[in-house]
């Protein structure tokens, strides 16, 4: 700022004092005030502070005697006379609570009174930002929804049957301190969990600032978008206040069975109480202590727990969290006595940016990342920490611990249970007609003999959802109706009760048509019959779509058969039948194609000959009845 502003400041202050002495009854709105920039420059020069340093400067004033400098924690100073208050954020790239200063400038004496503190003003809205190159950069940062990574899975879980759960938290403290990067951190890890690790979105519980309240809740003057991954579905579920944190973990404790994996991710401000006793700051200045958080975890049935902490002093959570019985792994951006920092571009926080990149396989900007030290295709928790710690360039010391010792070398965000074997290729009709329902089956086994769920993908944008449970080796089944003509590749995937998924089965190709029924079949054979004598008939049917055909036949005497076949279209076959009594009979037959369409009936009439039957017949009948074993030649001739 120009030198003349220093002279102007004295003039402004002197004029203000004289006018204040004679007009002490004037309202604050009409009281004279020195130029805010001049006040700021005077204070900086007096304290030998370089305005080009990475500082954020705010001025409140003029303030009157009797007002109080209020931090977001406690009253700091009762103002003795009219003057100005400057708030200096000494480490704006660090998360609260870090060193800040409050400076009171007396208009009357031009004396400066400096107070060291660690919290921002309670009445932040009364302070005016002093524009500097750094402040322009700081407040130019915008929310950034992480693009879907190239490692996105092609088949996402869609059911609560998955045993993995995640709780993502950002309190933000208040709207003035809820920095843009906290929402960005949540978006980054949410996309990874849902689109890379296939954790269903309903299993990812997000608590963020004021929740779904549409009011401004970010330091950029905007509202936190509840959609973290851009699918037009609200992902933020709760405001991040203590009662909601308690509610979420109480619900998990009530519903967990001990087979689950829980991942907890926090990005926010943190504070120290004393020694290893620390807190995470929630919304509306509420706090979650390390001891209380440990109590919430202890109330869960024994399960796998992974925690990743970003806030200042968050290393103080590890001694409370990493305790028996385990297995549990936790890492933090800093020690229990350190601040944590944003990245240099202020878009993300440093540690969780690199940690998320490690488990994703690429960072939020699409740069490929390789944290797989042992090249087994799985990023374990120790590998994620080692990568993040190595790439963290801010003045913070990431921390890590696990129990039992070494657990982190085997624990990942994937389900730890060995997956079922690849399911068999689906079985079922390969030709069907639209708007008709068809059933398909598949089977597989689970290494630990655990129950299995199957999910059939119908290749039309829908799935069966997870059906089951079935015993290991038991056949799973699901039905589907296609509503559009086309060719579809039906596949099936299996998972065990822990959510560990198998590889995809080989596809079964299904053609869906606007099916036409088969042509009427033909049946040929003798039209004249004699009782108790076998006759052979030849049947053949055709289908214009070359589908296999199944036959139904009715011999006209109360006997018949269904499900004969299947035979290929145009394939000839024979059937034999014997009638027991004389008479006239109508033989009927029809076919059904693979899609279930039926042909028209084909018929042939057969009769018993009567040209040899005369009056002697009655006598012969009586003779045959009386002597059943005699006259075999006559019996054959007459058909008895």
* Degrees, nearest 5: CA angle 465-471-475: 65
Backbone angles phi, psi at 209, to 5 degrees: 40, -120
Rounded Cα–Cα distance for residues 359 and 233 (Å): 24
Contact 116, 71 (CB under 8 A): no
Residue 342 has pLDDT above 60, yes or no: yes
The HSE-up count of residue 520 (CA atoms within 13 Å, CB side) is: 7
Rounded Cα–Cα distance for residues 442 and 488 (Å): 17
State the DSSP H helix or E strand holding residue 153, giving kind and residue range, or none if neither: none
| Rounded average pLDDT over 588-601 | 92
At residue 323 the predicted structure's pLDDT band, cuts being 50, 70 and 90, is very high
Contact 472, 450 (CB under 8 A): yes
User: Pick from 409, 441, 465: which residue ends a domain?
Assistant: 409
Predicted local confidence at residue 200, as pLDDT: 93
Do 188 and 299 have their domain in common? yes
Residue 175's SS3 state is coil
Residue 634's SS3 state is helix
pLDDT one-digit tens code per residue, 17-51 = 333 333 322 222 333 345 889 999 999 999 998 87
Do 559 and 484 have their domain in common? no
Do 39 and 107 have their domain in common? yes
Q: How far is CA 384 from CA 191, 361, 390, in A?
A: 17, 10, 10
Helix ranges, 281-380 (H): 290-298, 318-321, 350-360
| Rounded average pLDDT over 179-188 | 97
Backbone angles phi, psi at 247, to 5 degrees: -60, -45
Which token pair is 303? 């399960």
Rounded Cα–Cα distance for residues 630 and 615 (Å): 21
Residue 442's SS3 state is strand
User: Pick from 493, 513, 533: which residue ends a domain?
Assistant: 513
Rounded Cα–Cα distance for residues 51 and 346 (Å): 20
126 Rama class: left (phi>0) / alpha (psi -120 to 50) / beta: alpha
Number of H helices, E strands in the chain: 11, 31
Do 191 and 242 have their domain in common? yes
Which token pair is 272? 């120290």
Predicted local confidence at residue 634, as pLDDT: 58
| Rounded average pLDDT over 611-630 | 61
Q: What pairs with residue 561 in β-bridges?
A: 553
Contact 398, 388 (CB under 8 A): yes
Do 534 and 509 have their domain in common? no
Handedness of CA 242, 243, 248, 253 (dihedral sign): positive
Give domain status of residue 159, yes or no: no
Helix ranges, 271-349 (H): 290-298, 318-321
Which token pair is 399? 């921390």
Do 493 and 560 have their domain in common? no
DSSP single-letter state for residue 278: E
Give domain status of residue 426, yes or no: no
DSSP single-letter state for residue 561: E
Candidate from 96-100, 168-172, 242-246 with smallest mean pLDDT = 96-100
Do 315 and 219 have their domain in common? yes
User: Pick from 409, 441, 475: which residue ends a domain?
Assistant: 409
Give domain status of residue 179, yes or no: yes
Give domain status of residue 151, yes or no: no
Do 439 and 558 have their domain in common? no
> What CATH number does the domain containing 401 carry?
3.40.50.1460
At residue 151 the predicted structure's pLDDT band, cuts being 50, 70 and 90, is low
Give domain status of residue 441, yes or no: yes
pTM of the model: 0.65
Predicted local confidence at residue 12, as pLDDT: 47
Q: How far is CA 27 from the centre of its chain?
A: 56
The label of the residue with tokens 């030709």 reads 431
172: containing domain: 164-409
Predicted local confidence at residue 636, as pLDDT: 60
Q: What is the DSSP string of 375-401?
A: -SS--BHHHHHHHHHHH--SS---EEE
Residue 21's SS3 state is helix
Contact 374, 296 (CB under 8 A): no
Rounded Cα–Cα distance for residues 622 and 620 (Å): 5
- Residue 583 vs residue 156, higher pLDDT: 583
pLDDT one-digit tens code per residue, 391-429 = 999 999 999 999 999 999 989 999 887 889 999 999 999
529-545 in b/e form (b: 16+ CB < 10 A) is bbeeeebebebbbbbeb
Rounded Cα–Cα distance for residues 383 and 423 (Å): 31
Rounded Cα–Cα distance for residues 606 and 586 (Å): 6
Contact 177, 215 (CB under 8 A): no
Do 37 and 88 have their domain in common? yes
pLDDT one-digit tens code per residue, 56-108 = 999 999 999 999 999 988 899 999 999 999 999 999 999 888 999 999 999 99
Q: How far is CA 108 from CA 16, 27, 167, 283, 623, in A?
A: 8, 18, 54, 39, 148
Give domain status of residue 635, yes or no: no
Residue 631's SS3 state is coil
| Rounded average pLDDT over 194-200 | 92
pLDDT one-digit tens code per residue, 508-558 = 999 998 888 999 999 999 999 999 999 999 999 999 888 899 999 999 999
Give the residue among 391, 483, 415, 27 at the shortest CA–CA distance from 198. 415
Rounded Cα–Cα distance for residues 138 and 129 (Å): 12
Residue 321 has pLDDT above 70, yes or no: yes
Predicted local confidence at residue 622, as pLDDT: 67
Give domain status of residue 619, yes or no: no
The label of the residue with tokens 């926090």 reads 266
Predicted local confidence at residue 496, as pLDDT: 84
Predicted local confidence at residue 4, as pLDDT: 37
Do 170 and 317 have their domain in common? yes
Predicted local confidence at residue 278, as pLDDT: 97
Which token pair is 107? 């208009």
Do 461 and 372 have their domain in common? no
> What CATH number does the domain containing 454 carry?
2.60.40.10
Give domain status of residue 392, yes or no: yes
Do 81 and 128 have their domain in common? yes
Q: What pairs with residue 391 in β-bridges?
A: none
Domain count, the chain: 4
Which token pair is 589? 């037959």
């Amino acid at each position: 700022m120009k030198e003349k502003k220093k002279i102007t400041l004295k003039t402004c202050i002197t004029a203000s004092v004289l006018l204040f002495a004679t007009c002490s009854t004037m309202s604050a709105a009409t009281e004279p005030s020195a130029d805010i920039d001049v006040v700021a420059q005077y204070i900086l020069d007096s304290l030998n502070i370089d305005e080009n340093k990475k500082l954020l400067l705010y001025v409140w004033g003029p303030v009157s005697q009797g007002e109080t400098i209020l931090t977001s924690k406690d009253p700091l100073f009762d103002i003795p006379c009219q003057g100005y208050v400057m708030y200096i954020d000494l480490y704006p790239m660090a998360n609260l609570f870090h060193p800040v200063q409050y400076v009171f400038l007396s208009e009357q004496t031009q004396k400066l009174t400096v107070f060291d503190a660690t919290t921002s003003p309670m009445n932040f809205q009364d302070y005016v930002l002093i524009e500097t190159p750094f402040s322009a950069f700081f407040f130019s940062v915008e929310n950034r929804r992480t693009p879907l990574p190239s490692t996105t899975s092609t088949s996402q879980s869609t059911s609560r049957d998955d045993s993995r759960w995640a709780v993502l938290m950002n309190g933000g403290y208040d709207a003035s301190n809820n920095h843009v990067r906290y929402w960005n951190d949540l978006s980054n890890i949410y996309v990874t969990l849902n689109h890379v690790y296939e954790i269903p979105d309903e299993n990812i519980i997000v608590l963020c600032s004021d929740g779904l309240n549409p009011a401004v809740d970010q330091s950029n003057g905007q509202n936190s978008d509840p959609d973290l991954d851009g699918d037009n579905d609200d992902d933020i579920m709760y405001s991040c206040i203590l009662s909601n944190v308690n509610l979420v973990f109480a619900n998990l404790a009530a519903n967990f069975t001990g087979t689950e994996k829980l991942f907890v991710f926090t990005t926010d401000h943190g504070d120290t109480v004393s020694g290893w006793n620390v807190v995470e700051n929630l919304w509306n200045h509420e706090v979650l202590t390390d001891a209380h958080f440990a109590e919430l975890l202890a109330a869960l049935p024994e399960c796998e727990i992974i925690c990743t902490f970003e806030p200042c002093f968050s290393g103080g959570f590890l001694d409370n969290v990493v305790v028996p019985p385990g297995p549990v792994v936790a890492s933090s951006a800093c020690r229990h006595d350190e601040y944590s920092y944003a990245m240099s571009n202020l878009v993300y926080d440093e540690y969780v940016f690199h940690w998320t990149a490690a488990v994703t396989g690429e960072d939020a900007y699409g740069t490929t990342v390789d944290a797989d030290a042992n090249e087994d295709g799985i990023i374990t928790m120790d590998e994620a920490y080692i990568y993040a710690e190595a790439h963290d360039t801010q003045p913070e010391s990431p921390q890590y611990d696990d129990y039992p010792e070494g657990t982190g070398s085997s624990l990942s965000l994937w389900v730890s249970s060995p997956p079922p074997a690849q399911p068999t290729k689906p079985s079922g009709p390969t030709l069907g007609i639209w708007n008709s329902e068809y059933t398909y089956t598949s089977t597989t086994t689970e290494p630990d003999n655990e129950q299995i769920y199957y999910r059939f993908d119908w290749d039309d944008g829908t799935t069966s959802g997870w059906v089951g449970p079935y015993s290991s080796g038991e056949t799973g089944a699901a039905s589907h109706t296609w509503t559009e003509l086309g060719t579809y590749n039906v596949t099936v995937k299996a998972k065990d009760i822990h959510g560990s998924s198998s590889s995809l089965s080989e596809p079964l190709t299904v053609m869906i048509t606007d099916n036409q029924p088969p042509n009427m079949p033909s049946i040929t054979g003798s039209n004249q019959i004699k009782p108790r004598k076998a006759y052979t008939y030849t049947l053949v049917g055709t289908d214009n779509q070359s589908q296999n055909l199944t036959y139904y036949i009715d011999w006209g005497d109360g006997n018949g058969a269904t499900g004969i076949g299947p035979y290929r279209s145009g394939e000839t076959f024979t059937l034999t039948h014997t009638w027991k009594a004389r008479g006239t009979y109508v033989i009927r037959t029809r076919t059904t194609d693979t899609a279930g369409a039926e042909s028209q009936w084909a018929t042939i009439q057969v009769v018993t000959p009567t040209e040899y039957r005369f009056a002697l017949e009655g006598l012969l009948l009586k003779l045959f009845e009386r002597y059943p074993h005699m006259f075999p030649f006559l019996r054959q001739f007459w058909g008895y």
